[in-house]
């Protein structure tokens, strides 16, 4: 258990993660994180003999995320991550809100992830689930052209698979966009449910290479353009999104 700890670092200081936990049965509660990199990044960088998942059974609750790159899983997910619950947390001025990040060099299975009862203020963006982990935060390498298309060379590499993700009772204001859900053409991000979610932002949510994306009693209020912009995506529950 990690409880009642404050982590402080300059907002622009690189590589100043507050916590990079991996393993089993973590409780992280009542912590305050104001740093220059990931506030929390759950890691699974290698396969563990005899274990299906390197990192599982995490509960993050009643924490305050300030400057930093948000509540992350990854970017190393080769060993697998499952059964992560994040609830009753606040985010303010974070560069990301909730984020699952990996790529074809260090990907693995991430499943059974739950976020609930979350408030975000002035984040950018609110949600990032990406299998192309580049250009999602300041200082990241430029995003490859394949990330903007449906042609990604992934044969024989470590493929990220994200599935069974639920976001419930989230209210956010974003300075940039609602966010992005970015899977791979041959391994779509799947079964993501947003229930009672409200995000206000300049631009909507981009959903690419994804299936089973469902919105229940939820709204994305985009000042400019459609609430959802989709490409090779199956989406239910919002008004018909713009299809690229």
Structural domains of the chain, with CATH: 2-139+148-243 (2.160.20.10)
pLDDT at 140: 47
pLDDT at 241: 54
Contact of 124 with 91, CB cutoff 8 Å: no
Token duo for residue 55: 């990192």
Cα 242 to Cα 244: distance, rounded to the nearest angstrom: 6
pLDDT at 175: 94
Token duo for residue 163: 């599935």
Contact of 84 with 109, CB cutoff 8 Å: no
pLDDT at 145: 45
Report angle CA 137, 140, 141 to the nearest 5 degrees: 145
Token duo for residue 17: 């993660």
pLDDT at 56: 97
Task: Summarize pLDDT for 190-224 with one digit per residue, the tens.
Answer: 999 999 999 999 999 999 999 999 999 999 999 99
Cα 163 to Cα 180: distance, rounded to the nearest angstrom: 15
Q: Running DSSP on this structure, what letter comes out for residue 147?
A: G
pLDDT at 107: 93
Residues annotated as part of the active site: 37, 69
pLDDT at 154: 52
Q: Running DSSP on this structure, what letter comes out for residue 161?
A: E
Cα 102 to Cα 104: distance, rounded to the nearest angstrom: 7
Contact of 62 with 28, CB cutoff 8 Å: no
Task: Find how far residue 114's CA is from the centre of its chain.
Answer: 11
Helix/strand/coil for 148: helix
Token duo for residue 125: 């963006």
Peptide bond into 95 cis (omega under 30): no
Token duo for residue 23: 């393993």
Q: With a cut of 50, which residues of the chain have pLDDT below it?
A: 135-146, 150, 153, 155-156, 240
Cα torsion at 110, 114, 115, 116 (round to 10°)? 180
What is the reported pTM? 0.90
Cα 209 to Cα 198: distance, rounded to the nearest angstrom: 23
Token duo for residue 93: 């001025």
pLDDT at 223: 96
Peptide bond into 136 cis (omega under 30): no
Number of neighbours of residue 221 by Cβ within 10 angstroms: 12
């Amino acid at each position: 258990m990690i409880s009642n700890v404050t982590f402080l670092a300059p907002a622009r200081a690189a590589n100043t993660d507050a916590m990079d936990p991996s393993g089993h049965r973590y409780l992280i509660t009542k912590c305050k994180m104001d740093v220059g990199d990931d506030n929390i990044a759950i890691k699974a960088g290698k396969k563990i003999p005899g274990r299906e998942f390197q990192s599982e059974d995490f509960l993050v609750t009643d924490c305050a995320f300030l400057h930093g790159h948000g509540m992350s899983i990854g970017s190393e997910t080769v060993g697998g991550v499952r059964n992560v619950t994040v609830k009753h947390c606040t985010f303010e001025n974070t560069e990301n809100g909730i984020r699952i990040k990996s790529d074809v060099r260090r990907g693995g299975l991430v499943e059974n992830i739950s976020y609930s009862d979350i408030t975000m203020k002035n984040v950018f963006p609110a949600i990032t689930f990406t299998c192309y982990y580049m250009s999602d935060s300041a200082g990241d390498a430029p995003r490859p052209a394949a990330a903007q298309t449906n042609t990604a060379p992934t044969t024989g590499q470590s493929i990220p698979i994200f599935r069974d993700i639920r976001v419930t009772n989230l209210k956010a204001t974003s300075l940039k966009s609602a966010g992005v859900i970015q899977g791979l053409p041959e391994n779509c991000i799947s079964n993501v449910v947003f229930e009672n979610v409200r995000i206000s932002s300049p631009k909507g949510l981009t959903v690419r290479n994804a299936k089973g994306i469902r919105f229940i009693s939820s709204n994305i209020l985009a000042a400019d353009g459609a609430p959802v912009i989709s490409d090779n995506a199956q989406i239910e529950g919002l008004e018909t999104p713009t299809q690229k």
